[in-house]
Amino acid sequence: MKKSFMQFVMGTAILGLAMTASAAGISSNVVKIGVLTDMSGVYSAIGGKGSVTAAKMAIDDFGGKVLGKPIQLISADHQNKADIASTKAREWADTEHVDMITGLLNSGCALAVQKIGTEKKMISMATGAGSTTLTNEHCSPYGIHYVYDTYALPKVAGSAIVDTGGKTWYFLTADYAFGHSLEKNTKAFVKAHGGKTLGQVRHPLATADFSSYLLQAQASGAKVIGLANAGGDFINAVKQAREFGIVQGGQTIAGMLVFLSDVKSLGLDVAQGMNFATSFYWDRDAASREWSKRYFAKTNAMPTMDQAGVYSAVTTYLKAIKKAGTDDPDTVMKTMRGMKINDFFSINGYLRADGSMVHDMFLVEVKKPSESKSPWDLLKVIKQVPGNEAFMPLSEGSCALVK
Amino acid sequence: MHLSYQMVLAQLMLGLNNGAFYAILSLGLAVIFGLLNIINFAHGALYMLGAFVALIGYTKLGPLLGMPDFHMNYWAALIISPLVVGLLGVLIEKTMLKRLSKVDHLYGLLLTFGLALILQGVFTNYFNVSGTSYNGKPEILRGVVDLKFRMFPTYRLWSIGLSLSVCFVTWFVIERTKLGSYLRAGTENPALVQAFGINVPLMITLTYGFGVGLAAFAGVVAAPIYSVSPIMGTEMIITVFAVVVIGGMGSIMGSIWTGLSLGMLEGLTKVIYPPAANTVIFFMMILVLLIKPAGLFGKEQ
């Protein structure tokens, strides 16, 4: 009895050793990447099928193989519900042996998946979510926040607007975590640059009629009406502000999170002159144009920063596996932290200990209809802001992994 | 929050604007429920379809027909879109709903719910979910009107007036004309009405077509105000169902009044306590159901 128990212990130990040894190389002989995104809901124009296409392009461009093993792609719809996202992520980790999940279009889903990633040692690279909690209170050794956050956007756009004369602000804020965080951060930058907030109104998510809120904003007399919302809410608010003559009356509309698809949806007539911050614009330079045109050929739309970010995230991940010689998550994360991330999407990018992928941000302006030469010629880049200025300094953050 | 009377008036006008949409949509639902006993869950999707017919007619129809400069204008859309969607409604009734007329309401509800999901899914596949702007607003309806207490967009005034007129005409036809009395009698006792030589099945088919035509009409009127998006109906339909429940299922006048007054209540809530703007209607629904379970204008069966 005793002997057999010892044998059992020895056996387990040897098995354990064997498993550690096989950590070099590719686990389960395949690298599996999962795109979890909004396929049919409010944010599906921002990510959706376009993100899956971008991930597929990244894998194809990488040659379909890494370290001699095939790369597989799977995708699913998180329906913007955190419980669905976490069920899917758990299933992917347990039965599909997915190595990395990207996409994640809303903060609730991203937080849920990042938490499961921590538990299962599965890397998550959130490209669509905004909340800074991903890299602060809830930061994870396996969680990466890749494209933008609710600190960098208002830092770039809010500060620039205050500096050019927009001293008084009134906020229309989506009434949930993302909106609140965006509003709070923007207010802080407005204040830091000598501006003042006159008031705010919180509207429910997915509001069709903004006119009541707009009249309140108009009555406040603020120079700038800050929109701390996204997607359809942002579009309706801007459209109706124009209908009520708010812009013509001398007030400026400032969107704190604007995607290219939103500008396309509004049209230049309505959106012209608006300034906002973005991580990416397709017509920024030769490299971004080259990739975006290839993307356009497949999807018939120019990429949003989320879709371009998915390509970049997948490529960076695959490069890290190649460099590390393994897909072991700890080693890959360590390798990524040591890499410079420079491609058509990310300029001067690097991955910080808290999970932020810090890279240059851009202040852009929507073109006038007369300046636009083609259907997707929508923006002009006004200013390039270095990543270290745009993103929250590590010293201000609250991530427990940063010592 | 300081509430001047101008502010309150302006909010009431805006509320009336939304209320008029609620009224047309719940009116259609009420007519369908009254005559067919079907809870038409596809109503929101058909409202969306109405807006899309206008949008597609304006932007895509010309190029499709090989005439890039051709746009189906707003006025044409006001008539064509309800017709197209109404025809689709007739088709749905003839081929699907008719088969369910003998079984429990629940089956009609499930069928129409499924139709709504299919329609929404198909449009999501081809169109921007965040919405597309409808730019066909006629020149004459652009700009603003001075209402003394504030400047108000011309188009919104037009949409209030037009919606109210349509509501009134529908009410008049059903409650005050001979055709309407056939309709009402047909729901009470179809066998007896048929015995008088009136084609009841045809009447029911046309009623469904008319009801969904109303939804499409609301969609066209809404298109220049909101963005035309595949999910615009889903957002609307839940509120509209609450309106129908509050007004009393099947009551025509009830759904009109309830739609208008709840729109205004919602408008006021948006200034007084904005976070409750989405819930105030449901709060009212609970209140009404507790006190008058058949709805404000409904008759107990």
**Total of domains in chain A:** 2
Domain that holds residue A141: 27-150+285-360
CA B248 vs CA A176, B211, B242, B292: distances in Å: 33, 17, 10, 9
Residue A81 is given by DSSP the state: -
Which of B270, B273, B279, B282 best probes binding to A when mutated, by most A CB atoms within 10 angstroms? B270
Q: Which residues pair with B184 in a beta bridge?
A: none
**Which of A14-28, A233-247, A345-359 has maximum average pLDDT?**
A345-359
Whether A42 and chain B come into contact, CB under 8 Å, resolves to: yes
Q: What is the 3-state secondary structure (H, E, C) of A313-331?
A: HHHHHHHHHHHHCECCHHH
A4-48 pLDDT, tens digit per residue, is 555 555 555 555 544 444 446 888 899 999 999 998 877 888 999
* Least confident window among A40-49, A232-241, B17-26, B37-46: A40-49
What pLDDT shows up at residue A24?
62
How is chain A split among helix, strand and coil, in percent rounded to 5?
A: 45, 20, 35
pLDDT band at B251 (very low <50, low <70, confident <90, very high): confident
* Average pLDDT of the segment spanning B221-230: 91
Rg (alpha carbons) of chain A, rounded to whole number:
22
Q: Are residues A135 and A168 in the same domain?
A: no
Contacts of A261 in chain B (CB under 8 A): 128, 130
Residue pairs between chains A and B whose CB atoms are closer than 8 Å: 100
B133 vs chain A: nearest CA distance in angstroms?
6
User: Do A207 and B236 lie within an 8 Å CB cutoff?
Assistant: no
A271-328 pLDDT, tens digit per residue, is 999 999 999 999 999 999 999 999 999 999 999 999 999 999 999 999 999 999 999 9
CA A79 to CA A358: how far, in whole Å?
Answer: 28
Q: Are residues A144 and A184 in the same domain?
A: no
* The two three-digit tokens of residue A219, written as one number: 């009555």
What pLDDT shows up at residue A18?
46
* Least confident window among B95-109, B159-173, B185-199: B185-199
CB neighbours of residue A338 within 10 Å: 12
A82-107 pLDDT, tens digit per residue, is 999 999 999 999 999 999 999 999 88
pTM: 0.84
Whether B63 and chain A come into contact, CB under 8 Å, resolves to: no
Q: Look at residue A194 and give its three-state secondary structure.
A: coil
* Average pLDDT of the segment spanning A339-365: 96
Has residue A19 been placed in a domain? no
B180-198 pLDDT, tens digit per residue, is 888 888 777 878 888 988 8
Return the higher-pLDDT residue of B226 and A61.
A61
Note whether A282 and A292 are within 8 A (CB).
yes
Has residue A338 been placed in a domain? yes
Q: Which residues pair with A77 in a beta bridge?
A: A37
User: Do A245 and B151 lie within an 8 Å CB cutoff?
Assistant: yes
Tell me which residue of A367, A376, A352 sits closest to A300, measured CA to CA: A376
What pLDDT shows up at residue A30?
94
B125: closest chain A residue by CA: A40
Angle at B103 between CA B101 and CA B108, to 5 degrees: 65
pLDDT band at B38 (very low <50, low <70, confident <90, very high): confident
Percent of chain A scoring above 90 in pLDDT: 80
Note whether A47 and A38 are within 8 A (CB).
yes
Whether B262 and chain A come into contact, CB under 8 Å, resolves to: no
Contacts of A232 in chain B (CB under 8 A): 129-131, 227, 229, 231
Note whether B127 and B60 are within 8 A (CB).
no
What pLDDT shows up at residue B193?
87
CA A34 to CA B147: how far, in whole Å?
Answer: 56
User: Do B229 and A232 lie within an 8 Å CB cutoff?
Assistant: yes
Tell me which residue of A301, A289, A316, A253 sits closest to A125, measured CA to CA: A316
- Of B10, B124, B131, which has the smallest distance from its Cβ to A40's Cβ? B124
Whether B232 and chain A come into contact, CB under 8 Å, resolves to: yes
What pLDDT shows up at residue B75?
96
Q: Look at residue A365 and give its three-state secondary structure.
A: strand
B120-162 pLDDT, tens digit per residue, is 989 988 887 878 888 888 999 988 888 877 788 999 999 999 9
Whether B157 and chain A come into contact, CB under 8 Å, resolves to: no
Q: Are residues A257 and A115 in the same domain?
A: no
Q: Are residues A211 and A311 in the same domain?
A: no
B258-296 pLDDT, tens digit per residue, is 999 999 999 999 888 888 888 999 999 999 999 988 888
Q: Look at residue A68 and give its three-state secondary structure.
A: coil
- What's the distance, Cα to Cα, between the start and end of chain B in Å? 45
What does chain A come to in residues? 403
Q: Are residues A221 and A349 in the same domain?
A: no
What CATH number has the domain bearing residue A373? Answer: 3.40.50.2300
Q: Which residues pair with A72 in a beta bridge?
A: A32
User: Do A209 and B225 lie within an 8 Å CB cutoff?
Assistant: yes
* Average pLDDT of the segment spanning B35-49: 92
Whether B154 and chain A come into contact, CB under 8 Å, resolves to: no
Q: How far is CA B248 from the centre of its chain?
A: 16
Residue B10 has pLDDT above 50, yes or no: yes
CA A19 vs CA A14, A23, A280, A358: distances in Å: 9, 6, 42, 35
Contacts of B138 (CB under 8 A, 6+ apart): B73, B74, B75
What pLDDT shows up at residue A8?
55
Whether B7 and chain A come into contact, CB under 8 Å, resolves to: yes
CA B166 to CA B218: how far, in whole Å?
Answer: 10
Q: Is the dihedral of CA A288, A289, A291, A293 positive or negative?
A: positive
CA A75 to CA A52: how far, in whole Å?
Answer: 7
State the residue for tokens 């949509």: B25
CA B50 to CA B228: how far, in whole Å?
Answer: 10
Interface of A with B in 243-282 (CB under 8 A): 243-245, 261-262, 264-267, 269-270
Whether B238 and chain A come into contact, CB under 8 Å, resolves to: no
Residue A146 has pLDDT above 50, yes or no: yes
How is chain B split among helix, strand and coil, in percent rounded to 5?
A: 75, 5, 25
* Average pLDDT of the segment spanning B38-59: 94
CB neighbours of residue A68 within 10 Å: 8
User: Do B275 and A202 lie within an 8 Å CB cutoff?
Assistant: yes
CB neighbours of residue A119 within 10 Å: 13
Q: For the residues of A14-44, what is the DSSP string, one character each?
A: HHHHHHHHHTSB-GGGSEEEEEEE-SSSTTT
The angle, 0 to 180 degrees and rounded to 10, between the axes of the packed helices B43-59 and B5-36 is 110
Residue A357 has pLDDT above 70, yes or no: yes
B123: closest chain A residue by CA: A40
Residue A3 has pLDDT above 70, yes or no: no
Q: Are residues A301 and A216 in the same domain?
A: no
Whether B11 and chain A come into contact, CB under 8 Å, resolves to: yes
Note whether B209 and B89 are within 8 A (CB).
yes
**Which of A1-5, A16-20, B61-65 has maximum average pLDDT?**
B61-65
User: Do B235 and A42 lie within an 8 Å CB cutoff?
Assistant: no
What pLDDT shows up at residue A19?
47
What pLDDT shows up at residue B157?
93
Contacts of A208 in chain B (CB under 8 A): 226, 232, 235-236
Q: Are residues A344 and A267 in the same domain?
A: no
What pLDDT shows up at residue A294?
97
> Half-sphere exposure of residue B127, counting CA atoms within 13 Å on the CB side?
27
Q: Are residues A292 and A250 in the same domain?
A: no
Has residue A34 been placed in a domain? yes
What pLDDT shows up at residue A143?
97
What pLDDT shows up at residue B206?
92
User: Do B155 and A240 lie within an 8 Å CB cutoff?
Assistant: no
What pLDDT shows up at residue A336?
97
B124 vs chain A: nearest CA distance in angstroms?
6
Has residue A198 been placed in a domain? yes
User: Do B17 and A209 lie within an 8 Å CB cutoff?
Assistant: yes
* The two three-digit tokens of residue A243, written as one number: 């209908």
Has residue A322 been placed in a domain? yes
CA B138 to CA A348: how far, in whole Å?
Answer: 49
User: Do A216 and B271 lie within an 8 Å CB cutoff?
Assistant: yes
Whether A204 and chain B come into contact, CB under 8 Å, resolves to: yes
The helix or strand, by DSSP H or E, that contains position B97, with its residue range, turns out to be none
User: Do A265 and B271 lie within an 8 Å CB cutoff?
Assistant: no
Residue B62 has pLDDT above 50, yes or no: yes
Contacts of A266 in chain B (CB under 8 A): 133
Task: Enter the CATH code of domain B5-291.
Answer: 1.10.3470
**Which of A12-21, A209-218, B3-12, B247-256 has maximum average pLDDT?**
A209-218
Q: Which residues pair with A76 in a beta bridge?
A: A36
Domain boundaries, chain B: 5-291
Contacts of A215 in chain B (CB under 8 A): 7, 10-11, 14, 150
Whether A369 and chain B come into contact, CB under 8 Å, resolves to: no
What pLDDT shows up at residue A309?
97
ipTM over 0.85: no
What pLDDT shows up at residue A21?
41
Return the higher-pLDDT residue of A36 and A80.
A36
* Average pLDDT of the segment spanning A234-263: 91
- Of A41, A212, A219, which has the smallest distance from its Cβ to B267's Cβ? A212
Residue B60 is given by DSSP the state: T
| CB neighbour burial string for B55-89, b if at least 16 within 10 angstroms, e if fewer | bbbbbeeeeeeeeeeebbebeebbebbbebbbebb
Percent of chain A scoring above 70 in pLDDT: 94
Whether B6 and chain A come into contact, CB under 8 Å, resolves to: no
- Of B150, B227, B236, which has the smallest distance from its Cβ to A235's Cβ? B227
Residue A360 has pLDDT above 80, yes or no: yes
B85 vs chain A: nearest CA distance in angstroms?
23
